[in-house]
Every structure is written in structure tokens, then in C-alpha cells.
Structure 1
């Protein structure tokens, strides 16, 4: 066993991955406003997906929930299904205790489906830590968000292709993603893509262009304007981070992206963008979850 950030991580070999029986795991969460307190009122799970007890590090009205996948990594053939519904007037922040790891496929595709809902006046934040794709992973990820007309949402991800710290290159494998966000019944954001390493996606100018890390932050809500977009860009530029970043505002949707070579830098970028956007979109100062620093 080796230990990372205070948690034991199993050593995974090619033989152990090949013998692994695929997991079918589901987690369904529900959050309800109770007189100004957001309570975790639904917690159903099947297979190796759990949520730790609700946390309130910033205010009783904001419930932080940490989603845990006990095996520590997703092996070829595994299927994860996560859903969460935030009731009217409630505010939930969902995160993870550490980086998600997607191991090599061994001929079996792994899948993750995330479905999120926020009712009238609700706020939902989806802020998992980094996702690491091992070489030869075959992954399909879908992310669907349904928002009431006056609900707000911030979602983010950091994708790491290959374990660059150990010299691994993502030179084989596939990662397919599809994201859709609806607000008030209208589709306000949709994107899909598939990165196929063998077809030059890691180096192609229309894909990663030689970078190994990419990050995205999407904010949906009211109160965003060109002044906020300018503030975000200036704030990021002032940090002088290595890599490339940009941001675009489309009415009620703001999308910011980063590409580079370091997950630590990507995390700095994401935290900085979140600190600018959260007060403007959610009317609340950014409060870094303690689990991010362990």
C-alpha cells in the first residue's frame, strides 16, 4: 500500500484490473430547505458510492456533501450513476475527497452518468477534484443539469490525461463527454466531444495541442455582464499562471477554460475563477472546502 494525502491507496496491477468484476454503483441525493437550513433529506446508494455526513463550514443555509467512491478508482467496465436534487430555496455544494482515477480499459468501457436538478430559487455547485485518466482508459461521461428559471449553478472539472508526475503519457484510449444544461426548460448549454489518443488528439491543434491538463468552469445564473467577464479575465491574467486560459459570456451562461501541463496550476486557476464568479452569481463569498486541502 502507498499513502497519499493521508489516505491509503491500493497498488493496482494489470492482472488485478483484468480480474476485476465491473461495479454497478448508484447514488441519489436530495436537499431540502428547512427554515433557512439546507438539509440532506435523501441519501440512497447501491454499490460502492457513498456520501459523508452533511457539512456546514460556511453557513447553515449551504450544505456541503462529499461524494466518496471507496474503491478509489474506476476500472474497465465500471458504471457510476450519480443524481442530486436541490429543493426550492436550498443550496448544496457537491465535491469529492480526492482525485478520481480511471484505470485502463482492458477491452471494457467505463461510464459515469451525472444528473443534477435545482428547483425554484435553489443553488447547486458541482465541484469535484481532479479526474485522472490512465493510459489506455476508455471512458464515457454524461452530465445533465436541469435548473428552474431562477435557479443558479456552478460546475467545474479538471481533467488530467496520463499520470504525468510518473512519466506516463496518454497515448492510447478514449474519453467521450456530453454535457447539457437547461434553465427554465430551455437548453442554455450543450457540448459533446470524444478524445481519441491514437488519432492525434493529444497533439492536434483542434484538441489538446500538446497539453495534458484541461479545466472548465461553467456558471449559469443572473447578474453576469461584460464587467464581470472583464474582472474575471483581469484577475486570472494578474496571477501569471503557466498555460492558456479564456472566458466567454453568453447571456445567462459564462464558460471559462484552462489548458496546461500542471494539475496544481489548474487548481489555482479554478479556485481563482470560482472566487470571482461565486459572489456575482450566487451572492456568496467563496469558501474553500476543507477536504480540498487534505
Structure 2
């Protein structure tokens, strides 16, 4: 672990922010180059956020322990309220052996009209032996004419595991907006000891055809992906996840598949409330399967 700064003694936390002067509401020509680095350590029976570094517009709230000292909940804040064309956000998370963290965002993300420039988000995660990260950002709204690319790479050590989800709404549907121009790309890679466990690439060009065709959005506005990568799962877990979707009686479309070392759930529909309800159930079932503990909803989701 090296952020090019002196190491701290156990239990201490360093917080450093950029002092650059930026406008409260950037003009079209201004862009954000935000970054955040978090390192979680395990000290005796407690997971601690041992090192924090952030650069505007990203910030970190204090650590929360609604479950136990062994599981650290962290809430990330994007103070600018959204991303415009040319913005780039970089997240770097590392977990020491046996650490367990739950990371989410304080609010839904907004990806505005790109004005010809691409918006990019890069997430890099390293998880050491027997550590566990749950990466659970709130949904993102992709405005018409936005150009957005997300890249997420997870490196797992032996016996480490990662659980994560992404939820996207295309267009401000409450205002009748559809994603008719622009581009959305998402690339997720999970590796263990140099070998790929799951590589997922998605691409949606903003167009009437992509929105309407069955192999596109099929006239839906919301998509979501939930994945847990850690070890081979039983068929019973896959069946439980499928049955939980059926029992909810929701209107969208969903699917569940086994991975080489994990499981994946997909959603396509019209409601972020629907996908969050199902993913929350999937999280609860998978977490109990993985570590024998039920899921603990993050406090900020209930605000």
C-alpha cells in the first residue's frame, strides 16, 4: 500500500483535500478532475479506514459501524451534484487482509449533456486475502446527449471476494426525456492472481433503435447489474435468487446466472425502486450465503 506519503501508525486517519480554487457551478469550459483513495485495514477485530485522500469534488463522510466493528460503512459524496462533458473521476480502494467494508454514495449521480466531450469514471479496487468489499453506489441518471464511460477493475487475492451493483436510468423520464443522442459504455473486470474471473462490457448508443429494439432497452429506461465474485456457488443459491424475483411480482425483466466463481443478476425495466428492491434482496441472500450475516441497509438510503 503506497500513496506516496508516509505511513501512519495504527488507528490514525489522514485526510487531505485539494486546495484548488474551483467555481461552485463550473462553466461549460470547466471540468472536474476528482479523485479519491481509500485504504481499509483490520486492527484486531475492527475494520478501520486507515488512509483517506480526496480531491474535489469528491469527499468522504466519517466511518459508520451500524452492524459491528468488523464491518466499516463508508459514504462517498460528489459535491458538484453531477458530471459534465470532460469530467473525470477516479476511485482507488484497497483492503488489507480480513478487512470488510461497505461503500455507497450519498445520492443518485447525474451525468449531464456532454457538449461533445466524454465523461469518464474509473474505479480500481484491490482486495487482499480473506477481505470483502461491498460496492453499492446509488443509481446514475444518464441525460440525453451525455457521453459516459465507466471502467471498473477488481483484483482479488486468494479467498477475497467482491460484491457490487450498478443501476442506470437513461433519460429524465419524469420529464419525458429519452436517450436519443449520446453514448454509454461500461466495462467491468474482476481478476484473481492474474486470471480473469468475469469480464463484462456493455455499450448503448443513444438512438431510437437502441431504445426500442428487444436486444437494446426494449423500450425500458432502467437497467441494473448485480454481481458477487468470490467462490463457486451452489445451484440452490441461483434458484433462490430467481424465486425471490418471482415472489416480488415486479413488472420488469430479470435474469440470474452462475459465474465461474460467483453469481450475476440483471434487470431491465422502468423503475429504480423495483431494481433496488430486488437487488437489496439479492444482497441479503448472497451475503448470508457468503458470510452468514444478513445485509444491513445503509442509513443514507433511508433519508
TM-score (norm 1): 0.92
| 1:83 pairs with 2:86 | no
Distance 1:20 1:48 in 2: 16
Distance 2:208 2:90 in 1: 29
Distance 1:265 1:48 in 2: 30
Distance 1:40 1:157 in 2: 23
Distance 1:49 1:56 in 2: 22
Structure 1 counterpart SS, 2:238: helix
| 1:102 pairs with 2:96 | no
Distance 1:193 1:136 in 2: 18
Distance 1:191 1:229 in 2: 19
- Deviation of the 1:159 alpha carbon: 0.7
Aligned residue number for residue 291 of structure 1: 300
Distance 1:192 1:199 in 2: 21
Answer whether contact 1:27 1:43 (CA < 8 A) is retained.
yes
Task: Structure 1: state its 5+ residue gaps.
Answer: 1-15
- Which one of the candidate residues 213, 216, 233 is aligned to 2:225? 216
Q: Deviations over 1:95-129 (max 9, x none)?
A: 00110000000111110000011100000110000
- Which one of the candidate residues 175, 186, 189 is aligned to 1:177? 186
Structure 2 counterpart SS, 1:200: helix
Structure 1 counterpart SS, 2:211: coil
CA RMSD of aligned residues (A): 1.4
Structure 2 counterpart SS, 1:206: coil
**Using CA pairs below 8 Å that are at least 6 residues apart, which structure has the higher relative contact order?**
1
Q: Which sits farther off after the overlay, 278-287 or 36-45?
A: 278-287
- Which one of the candidate residues 239, 242, 255 is aligned to 1:230? 239
Aligned residue number for residue 69 of structure 1: 78
Q: Deviations over 1:245-287 (max 9, x none)?
A: 0100023121100110111111111112111111112332100
Aligned residue number for residue 67 of structure 2: 58
Aligned residue number for residue 5 of structure 2: none
- Which one of the candidate residues 285, 289, 297 is aligned to 1:276? 285
| 1:262 pairs with 2:267 | no
Answer whether contact 1:223 1:280 (CA < 8 A) is retained.
no
Answer whether contact 1:223 1:281 (CA < 8 A) is retained.
no
Aligned residue number for residue 3 of structure 2: none
- Deviation of the 1:185 alpha carbon: 2.8
- Which one of the candidate residues 41, 54, 68 is aligned to 1:45? 54
Structure 1 counterpart SS, 2:129: coil
- Deviation of the 1:220 alpha carbon: 0.9
TM-score (norm 2): 0.89
Runs of 4+ more than 4 Å apart: none
Aligned residue number for residue 11 of structure 1: none
